[in-house]
Amino acid sequence: MKEVRLRFAPSPTGYLHIGGLRTALYNYLYAMQQKGSFLLRIEDTDRSRFVEGAIENLIHELHWAGVENNEGVTLTEDEVSEIGNCAPYIQSERVKEGIYDEYIDQLLKSGDAYYCFCSKERIDAVKDQQRADGKMPKYDGLCRGISLEDARKRVAEGEEHVIRLKLPANKDVVFEDVIKGKITINTDDMDDQVLIKSDGFPTYHFAVVVDDHLMNITHVVRGDEWISSTPKHILIYQAFGWDIPKYIHLPTVLNKSGKKLSKRNDDVSVEDFREKGYLPEALINYLALVGWSPKTNDEILSMEELIEQFTFDRVQKSGAVFDVDKLDWVNSHYIKKLGIKEFSEKVKPYLVNAGFIDGDISEDKLQFIAKTFQDSLSKLSDIVPQSRFLFEDMEMEEDGKKLMDDNAKVLRDAFVEELNGIDEVDEEFSKGVMKKIQKKTGIKGKNLFMPVRAMISGNLHGPELANIIEILGKDKLLERLKKLD
């Protein structure tokens, strides 16, 4: 049986989009399930969109998420490197090696492609006229009639040109998308696609077909914004007489308002999610469910379970909603499951960056602080707002202020007295002090706990009171208690 080979083929335009990660993930899941190959190819033929460092960034984010390719571009000690028999896997490198030259030559000779010398101004004018006439704007095919011999002469003389695909007239191009079903587009509704640009670089459309063929790709899994390009690709395959891969177009990732995720309104880059403290296992688990559901309706799935259960026939046809609240829920599940050592190491940078703790804090202390918040975080960075009251001067909230009556003063005095009787707050003290205050004052229950909590944390809600007392320590507690006069 033929080896199943899938690829993720991003353009290095700066960052990995969360929808791109989902595409990569579905490719990966299927390839791993079928014991096939998952390769990473970089499509950088649009030089105007190239961003320095973007390739490294893409690979870094994919690998952070655990979506590891076994072929193509990878990182070795932070440097881009390549593995596999189809190298190079970066299209600009393939251009340098002249890989596309022989294939375009083949299409020119067979008459499936032609040189076009029309200026941009002329084409714009043609399209303006077509629009005015209520027609679909497209190239009018003026250069189709130039013989290859004449065209080559003009090219040799240095005349500026592109190379276009010569579409057959009025032909239905039909393909069966694995998710969307049968799709038919007529060539009259298509344009003579540019295959080679005036800078000599192939367009995406030409390079993607040549490369998918040369890399023996069996399944093309990509976002559904590419559906309208697929007939062009199929015509190129047909012109070469090559086998056409299976096409699988994934539903667009939408935000909760049903709009395409946009940088302006939403977090869109994987980096944003990583930096906010989403765990890779959680992000992957949730992303898998954006547009797909397992038969069992389970919501918590490891990568191994996803590989086992993933099928394209359970991918929905349209609009998949990315719900950050749901992601938060999944993430908090994974955060709660972390061992305390691992968890405290993960939250440490957030606490250090906020200036709450020193980098050389003892492991015990760090773990105690971390544990105090572990069950209440949706993402690691939440520890900063949630623990701020412990490390910075706090403002008392209005609800708390209302409780600052004579009763509170009695509690305050009792608490201060207890603190004056010790050198340092330890576990025994922090766990026992409320009971002592209760005995001393006769105040109990809510009337005891709420005012004390408000006095030392500024808030009526939050983590365990004993933990707050232990983390604050004697001096800070006294300072806060004495604020009440």
- In the complex, the residues that contact ligand GLU under the rule CB under 6 A are 9-11, 43, 204, 208, 222, 226
259, 263, 402, 482: the catalytic one is 263
- Whichever of 230 and 344 has its CB closer to ligand GLU, that residue is 230
- Tell me how far apart the alpha carbons of residues 118 and 187 are, in angstroms, rounded to a whole number: 21
- Whichever of 245 and 400 has its CB closer to ligand GLU, that residue is 245
| Helical spans, DSSP H, in 289-442 | 303-309, 324-337, 340-353, 363-374, 383-391, 398-401, 406-420, 427-441
User: Residue 10 CB, nearest distance to ligand GLU (Å)?
Assistant: 5
| Strand pairing report for 71-76 and 79-83 | antiparallel
Contact assessment for residue 5 and residue 169, using Cβ atoms and an 8 Å cutoff: no
| β-pair partners for 315 | 292
- Whichever of 9 and 268 has its CB closer to ligand GLU, that residue is 9
Handedness of CA 337, 338, 344, 347 (dihedral sign): negative
395, 402, 387: which is closest to 447 by C-alpha? 402
- Whichever of 44 and 281 has its CB closer to ligand GLU, that residue is 44
Helix, strand, or coil here: 179? Answer: coil
User: Residue 78 CB, nearest distance to ligand GLU (Å)?
Assistant: 23
- Whichever of 11 and 381 has its CB closer to ligand GLU, that residue is 11
| Strand pairing report for 253-254 and 5-8 | unpaired
User: Residue 33 CB, nearest distance to ligand GLU (Å)?
Assistant: 20
- Tell me how far apart the alpha carbons of residues 464 and 481 are, in angstroms, rounded to a whole number: 18
Cα-flanking dihedrals φ and ψ of residue 172, to 5°? Answer: -80, 125
Active site residue 263: yes
- Written as one string, the DSSP assignment of 256-306 is TTSSBP-TTTS--BHHHHHHHT--HHHHHHHHHTSSB--TT--S---HHHH
User: Residue 58 CB, nearest distance to ligand GLU (Å)?
Assistant: 10
| Strand pairing report for 246-250 and 219-223 | parallel
User: Residue 226 CB, nearest distance to ligand GLU (Å)?
Assistant: 5
The structure tokens listed for 256 are: 């909760």
- Whichever of 91 and 372 has its CB closer to ligand GLU, that residue is 91
User: Residue 83 CB, nearest distance to ligand GLU (Å)?
Assistant: 20
Q: What strands lie across the sheet with 71-76, from one edge to the other?
A: 79-83, 71-76, 37-40, 5-8, 219-223, 246-250, 172-177, 181-186
The structure tokens listed for 168 are: 């057959």
- Whichever of 212 and 267 has its CB closer to ligand GLU, that residue is 212
Point out the residues that are catalytic: 263
